[in-house]
């Protein structure tokens, strides 16, 4: 069984699981684009049941359309990719992963941060 995103005007409005035969029976005006639950950032992953945190591990599978589709995401037919809407005007889309990147890297110190667009900086969450 595969996953398909229903795309209307470039926006994902629904994600369904089904067989290609079912997709082929849908109204011609509906556009369904295959997506893969195991694709993120242009790479294919399988869950690692041996990891304590169940972190996925990259495998040799074929990634499909850069990222798994979700409702409200954009389907860009030129890039043939799914990606989230731009979260902040200062962020840029990484063309290889189709994931938005902040102009400043997220701090690597095990603290929690939130993005402040006015200062274009990460601000520590102290609550």
Residues of the chain with pLDDT under 70: 47-55
Residue 6's φ and ψ, nearest 5 degrees, are -85, 125
- What is the model's pTM? 0.82
> Would you list the domain boundaries of the chain?
1-84, 86-127
Alpha carbon distance, N-terminus to C-terminus of the chain: 44
By the 8 A CB rule, do 126 and 114 touch?
Answer: no
pLDDT tens digit sequence for 102-116: 999 999 999 999 999
């Amino acid at each position: 069984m595969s996953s398909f995103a229903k795309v209307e005007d470039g926006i994902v409005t629904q994600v369904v699981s089904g067989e290609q035969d079912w997709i082929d029976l849908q109204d011609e005006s509906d556009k369904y684009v295959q997506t893969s639950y195991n694709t993120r950032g242009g790479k294919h992953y399988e869950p690692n049941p041996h990891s304590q945190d169940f972190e996925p591990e990259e495998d040799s599978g074929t990634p499909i359309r850069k990222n798994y589709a979700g409702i409200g995401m954009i389907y860009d037919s030129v890039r043939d990719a799914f990606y989230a809407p731009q979260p902040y005007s200062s962020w840029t889309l990484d063309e290889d992963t189709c994931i938005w990147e902040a102009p400043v890297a997220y701090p690597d110190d095990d603290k929690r941060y939130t993005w402040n667009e006015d200062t274009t900086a990460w601000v520590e969450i102290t609550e």
